[in-house]
Chain A
Amino acid sequence: AQSVTQLDSHVSVSEGTPVLLRCNYSSSYSPSLFWYVQHPNKGLQLLLKYTSAATLVKGINGFEAEFKKSETSFHLTKPSAHMSDAAEYFCVVSRISNQAGTALIFGKGTTLSVSS
């Protein structure tokens, strides 16, 4: 069975410092993995996705994530946080590679706070 665990419910950083949001997954198959971001009172926006091509995936707004099969992890990083990065982030695993919404399993979310 597939599952996804976001290891931190809340992460606080200072503007200009690195961001690390951690995600571990469990999957019986080669998974597709995604990170979505949700700003307050907004819908979810796709940041990046991994679908068995390059293990280092670059997304929008300077975010990237590395797929590590040996560690079953897909952590999200950014070298330097901006105030506009404050939002909730969801790690998502798909049971099948076509990302159809019926197969998506959402983590419980990590709230990122950025202070000046």
Chain B
Amino acid sequence: DAGITQSPRHKVTETGTPVTLRCHQTENHRYMYWYRQDPGHGLRLIHYSYGVKDTDKGEVSDGYSVSRSKTEDFLLTLESATSSQTSVYFCATFGQGMSSGANVLTFGAGSRLTVL
């Protein structure tokens, strides 16, 4: 997980409140991603970014928005949280791996969100 920091790591909120999750990277990777992980579903892509201010939707983007104002930060916002958005959220970057030197997808440690 070195080089990718997610915050907060845990959050409990109420239905209808806005929530922002932050992903910070120190690897200077161009590509960044937000996934959600739910039991029985594996990981599903929410949104991704291919550069500063360049973002696009993934397969489960409804109810989520993102912003990337600088290379190192990628924010995921739930405008009005719902119970169906209770999940573990993972940020990832795509670029040269620290050990292999090849391009790899590297994940943060995750943010666990509970919406009551």
Contact = CB atoms under 8 A, between A and B. Distances in A.
A43 B107 contact: yes
A46 B41 contact: no
B103 A98 contact: yes
Contacts of A101: 31, 33, 45, 48, 92, 94, 105
Interface in A76-100: 90, 98-100
Nearest to A105: B42
Interface string B84-105: 0000001010100100101111
Interface string B26-70: 000001010000001111110010000000101000000000000
Contact of A42 (B1, B56, B97): B1
B109 interface: yes
Contacts, number: 56
Contact of B42 (A46, A98, A100, A108): A108
A99 B31 CA distance: 11
A56 interface: no
Nearest to B32: A101
A3 B101 CA distance: 28
Given A41-B110, A44-B107, A99 B42 contact: no
A106 B41 CA distance: 8
Interface range, A side: 10 to 19
Nearest to A98: B103
Given A90-B43, A99-B94, A101-B48, A46 B105 contact: yes
A106 B109 contact: no
A31 interface: no
A41 B109 contact: yes
A7 B100 CA distance: 29
Contacts of B4: 43
What are the 10 A-B residue pairs with the smallest beta carbon separation, nearest first? A43-B107, A106-B42, A101-B33, A44-B107, A106-B43, A108-B42, A43-B109, A43-B1, A101-B105, A43-B108
Given A44-B107, A102-B56, A104-B105, 9 more contacts: A43-B108, A44-B43, A46-B104, A46-B106, A90-B42, A99-B104, A99-B105, A101-B48, A108-B40
